[in-house]
Amino acid sequence: MGMPPTTYRKGGAGEVITYACRHTAFGLLAMAATDKGVCFAQFGDDQASLIDELRAEFPGAELSASPVDDSPELDAWIEAMNQHLSAGAPRPELPVDMRGNAFQLKVWQFLTGTREGDTLSYTQLADRIGQPKAVRAVASACARNRVGVLVPCHRVLRGDGSLGGYRWGLERKQALIELERTRKLGS
């Protein structure tokens, strides 16, 4: 999991990133992938702003819109995500091409191993990765996550149990947590 640091620092220079925007149960989702896997999965209100965010994240990459016929895998991945969000399917196990510093990758990798329906605080997460004084850095890593739901930062709460922040809105965070808790109770 992870884009090479030199490629990330160069804004994805030399990378070809294919993207698609589709409506899901949680709103419009833009998903983008390199040949290694999903590097961007974000919710938003309109396609133009989502594509602007993708360009800002990878200013040196060649971006290519994906019609259904040209990238059936990307559409299948988005559909798998939507089935997870709307119909109770398991969280899709998609290849992920994350980019970030070593600490961020450590946080994101830990979160991908958390169980659906479980939550933890930023302090607990810092403790569990062996960095108990890095609570603010953990929160920052969660905020920098560009791969929504696949890297489940929505499972991290404030120490008092309140939602805290979420890059795609507190309503989505609350809905994701409730969806996962409901599924956990039903299993």
Report if residue 171 sits inside a domain: yes
Residues 71 and 131 in one domain: no
- SS3 readout for 128-170: HCCCCCCHHHHHHHHHHCCECCCCCHHHEECCCCCCCCCCCCH
- In sequence order, the 6+-apart residues with CB closer than 8 A to the CB of 49 are none
Residue 39 CB coordination number (10 Å): 27
> Which structural domain, as residue segments, surrounds residue 111?
102-186
| pLDDT value at residue 8 | 58
Residues catalogued as catalytic: 153
- Mean pLDDT check: name the lowest of 3-7, 90-94, 150-154: 3-7
| pLDDT value at residue 1 | 45
Residues 79 and 31 in one domain: yes
CATH number for the domain harbouring residue 173: 1.10.10.10
State the Cα–Cα distance between residues 93 and 95, nearest whole angstrom: 7
Residues 12 and 72 in one domain: yes
Report if residue 12 sits inside a domain: yes
Residues 41 and 110 in one domain: no
Whether the predicted pLDDT of 2 surpasses 60: no
**What is the overall mean pLDDT for the chain?**
89
Residues 136 and 112 in one domain: yes
Q: Which tokens sit at 1?
A: 């999991």
pTM of the model: 0.87
Looking at the DSSP assignment, which residues form a beta bridge with residue 64? 18
Q: How many domains does the chain have?
A: 2
Residues 126 and 59 in one domain: no
Residues 81 and 37 in one domain: yes
Among the candidates 19, 54, 87, a domain finishes at: 87
Residue for token digits 């990878």?
58
Question: In which band, very low, low, confident or very high, does the pLDDT at 123 lie, cut at 50, 70 and 90?
Answer: very high
Report if residue 93 sits inside a domain: no
| pLDDT value at residue 163 | 94
Please write the tens of the pLDDT for every residue from 54-85: 999 999 999 999 875 556 788 889 999 999 88
Pairwise pLDDT comparison (129 vs 35), residue with the higher score? 129
Residue for token digits 């994350």?
98
Please write the tens of the pLDDT for every residue from 129-165: 999 999 999 999 999 999 999 999 999 999 999 998 8
Residues 13 and 63 in one domain: yes
Q: Kindly give the pairing relationship between strand 156-157 and strand 27-33.
A: unpaired
Report if residue 82 sits inside a domain: yes
| pLDDT value at residue 13 | 73
Pairwise pLDDT comparison (124 vs 3), residue with the higher score? 124
Among the candidates 87, 116, 149, a domain finishes at: 87
Residues 82 and 124 in one domain: no
151 near 158, Cβ under 8 Å? Answer: no
